[in-house]
Structure 1
Amino acid sequence: MEFPLPLVKARLVRRYKRFLADAVLAEGPRAGEEITAHCANPGAMTGLAEPGTEMRLAPVADPARKLRWSWKLAALPGGGWATVDTSLANKVAGEALRAGLVPAFAGFDEVRAEARYGERSRIDFLLSARDRPDCYVEVKSVTLRREGRLAEFPDAKTARGARHLEELSAMVGQGARAAMLYLVQRTDCDRVGLAADIDPAYAAAFARARAAGVEAFAHACEITPEGIRLGAPLPVIPPA
């Protein structure tokens, strides 16, 4: 996935109301100007939203959008990048699945995004092929790191995430295949675990889903100001 327009360097002033961030542009003809950017991330963004953090913003071309900037990347203290916009994980996953670049899901002919299933739900990706059961894939963007090189999910309580696990378990019960795909949206981690202390309910739902046959996979991502691409598979702890 490549960014359609060059990202612009900025410095964070503050993030507030979850979806807003004030920043000072650091390059271009408007350098030094303070602006407000959309922050497409409902999570806690622990360690990524400290005042002074180096950012990369995307200019918004849509005249219907009130905010003219969108926060895409945050620089990590030790070097490298983290993805702020959680919607980008699905774009990266979609490109990789359609190109056959995710070994865990090799052999599927059709990849459908936002397919309806269950009573009132949509799955991130529904994979189909003639010679095998359908596979329901839910993608999660992982940005929390608290210790060493361990990425953790979630960074805030997510009743919606627990519901997704229950819905995937139901699909396994109907004879389909179902899986979680955790995309680590930062470049300083090499494995994925559950932040059970942050959301015990999600950790319990994960354990129930695994026992029901829901699979779990994780991948690193290669993140630069030019774009984001799927990286190597990573271990999931508890083991997937």
Structure 2
Amino acid sequence: MDLPPHLIRARMIRRYQRFLADVRLEDGRELTVHCPNSGSMLGCIEENGEVVLSVSTNPGRKYPHTLELVKVAGVWVGINTARSNALAREALENGVIRELQPLAAIRAEVKVSAHSRLDFLLDHGGGRLTYLEVKNCTLAEDGLALFPDAVTSRGTRHLGELLSLVQAGHGAALLFCVQRGDVGSFAPAGRIDPAYAAALGEAAAGGVRILAYRAAPTPGRILLDTPLPVRLSP
């Protein structure tokens, strides 16, 4: 995936109110920008750290600049969760995620209950279907990608829905889109959300496929192309 043209380099001042951040441009001006990440972004905010912004041409936006990448310990991290589904779809269409091949069709935003949707429904042909949920992962410790970075009741609910689909005879999978290149494996962040970690283990034991793929973002391009081992046990 190519990021939008005319990206802007800046330095982080602070992030606040979940979806806002203040940055300092190279000419010294300060801007408030949109931060497209509902998580805590634990470990991703360094004061005066390098960041990359995209600029919207939509005149109706209050904050036309969007935070795309942050540099942490010398590594670029993709924090725009709105891009994770597009990254996953690109990888699926290019045959990168071999565990979910072959693919005849991909349908997005599939309603599975009165109050919930999952990200994709994959048609493998011959009547074989897989429901797929995608989660963006930015937290890392000692080379290990971790999710979530804050307690997520919504994420736990999605795991329950995926498990129910398997129990009803359907295929179901969860894909962690890890947007940083300094990790070699994935695990649930049980220290942060033990309920989610337990639910992930139950889902895996019940037949939900748990996958993790890594991208190594650069200012300009993000490519989800590297499978990571998934560690569900401590």
Q: Distance in 1 between matches of 2:4 and 2:12?
A: 22
Matched to 2:80, the amino acid is D
Contact 2:178 2:215 survives alignment (8 Å):
yes
Deviations 1:9-39 (A, max 9, x none): 000111111111000112xxxx221000000
Question: What is aligned with 1:194?
Answer: 188
Alignment match, 1:174: 168
Q: Is contact 1:125–1:136 with CA below 8 Å preserved after alignment?
A: yes
Secondary structure of the residue that 1:88 maps to in structure 2? helix
In the alignment, the residues of structure 2 paired with residue 13 and residue 129 of structure 1 have an alpha-carbon distance, to the nearest angstrom, of 47
Instruction: Give the aligned partner of residue 121 of structure 1.
Output: 116
In structure 1, what residue type is equivalent to 2:166? V
Deviation at 1:132, TM superposition (A): 4.4
Which secondary structure does the structure 2 equivalent of 1:207 belong to?
helix
**Structure 1 residues 48-93: Cα deviation after superposition (integer angstroms, max 9, x where no partner):** 112111000001211111102100000121x231011111111100
Task: Name the residue aligned to 2:140.
Answer: 145
Q: Which runs of 4+ in 1 moved over 6 A?
A: none
The whole-number CA distance in structure 2 between the counterparts of 1:222 and 1:49 is 18
Work out whether 1:227 is the aligned partner of 2:229.
no
SS in 1 for 2:67: strand
Q: 112-121 vs 206-215, which deviates more? A: 112-121
Find 2:98's aligned residue among 98, 103, 106.
103
Q: In the alignment, is residue 217 of structure 1 matched against residue 211 of structure 2?
A: yes
Alpha-carbon distance in 2 for matches of 1:187, 1:144: 12
Q: 5+ unaligned residues in a row in structure 2: which ranges?
A: none
Per-residue Cα deviation, 1:98-139 (whole angstroms, up to 9, x for no partner): 222211111120011112223332111110133242101111
- The TM-score normalised by the length of structure 1 is 0.93
Identity %: 42
Q: CA RMSD in A?
A: 1.2
Tell me, yes or no, if structure 1 residue 45 matches structure 2 residue 41.
yes
Which amino acid in the other structure matches residue 192 of structure 1?
F
- Rounded to whole Å, the distance in 2 between the matches of 1:224 and 1:81 is 6
User: Aligned partners of 2:17 and 2:116: how far apart in 1?
Assistant: 27
Match of 1:205 among 190, 199, 209: 199
Letter in 2 for 1:4: P
Q: Is the counterpart of residue 55 in structure 1 residue 51 in structure 2?
A: yes
Distance 1:98 1:123 in 2: 18
Give the count of matched residue pairs: 233
Matched-pair contact (CA < 8 Å) for 2:91–2:225: no
Q: CA deviation at 1:192?
A: 0.3
More displaced 10-residue stretch of structure 1: 175-184 or 110-119:
110-119
Residue in 2 that maps onto 1:236: 230
Question: Contact 2:148 / 2:188 at 8 angstroms: preserved in 1?
Answer: yes
